[in-house]
Amino acid sequence: MKTDFTKLRRKLDDAITYADFETAILLSQDGLQSAQYQENLGEIMYFKAQREIIAENYTTAFKFLGQAIQYNPFDGAAYNDRALCSIELSGNEEQALADFDKGIEVEPDYATIYHNKGWYLNKLGRHQEAIRCFDKALELEPKRAVTYENLADAFLHLGSTEKAVEAFHQALKFLNPDYIDIRQQIEAKIELLKN
């Protein structure tokens, strides 16, 4: 049976996003084994990179992601993850934004790329641009809790407390019930903002 790599990648992305590293390790191993079984070189390099990202070996992950892109130049997730590795390694703003943009170009309906580009723009103080990226991510994936949480942060930076609280409420609405710690953190932020 052929593995649905897109579905597996999404699960892996969620696990990494919410710091569920035990699940992430298992998913990356499953992905790598399936890719090796199917002799899919692009996926092999992608899942090797994921194992390195989880282990915080960003230089090695960056190299594997470059190889994944060579095998499949239309792999938006590989560009996305290479951008994140660039940020971790050097904070090379131009390289990271170029990889995010290339990922969006080759895979325009992949919400994660818009989300991560928005997260980075927000980190750079480019909050309005970040909000546009978060809006696009939510247009593609309207129940994406982590994007609402980051959108709230961007609104806070712009002094829009009411919009931030609204976005936090949306994050809670769609947050996986298993993430109790994150739910409590968001609820605490809402309480602080109401006072």
Per-residue confidence in pLDDT tens, the chain, 195 aa: 688 898 999 899 888 887 888 999 999 999 999 999 999 999 999 999 999 999 999 999 999 999 999 999 999 999 999 999 999 998 788 999 999 999 999 999 999 999 999 999 999 999 999 999 999 999 999 999 999 999 999 999 999 999 999 999 999 999 999 889 999 999 999 999 987
Closest CA to 80 of 7, 2, 17, 28: 17
Q: Which residues contact 143 (CB under 8 A, 6 or more apart)?
A: 174
Closest CA to 47 of 11, 17, 73, 20: 11
What's the whole-model pTM score? Answer: 0.91
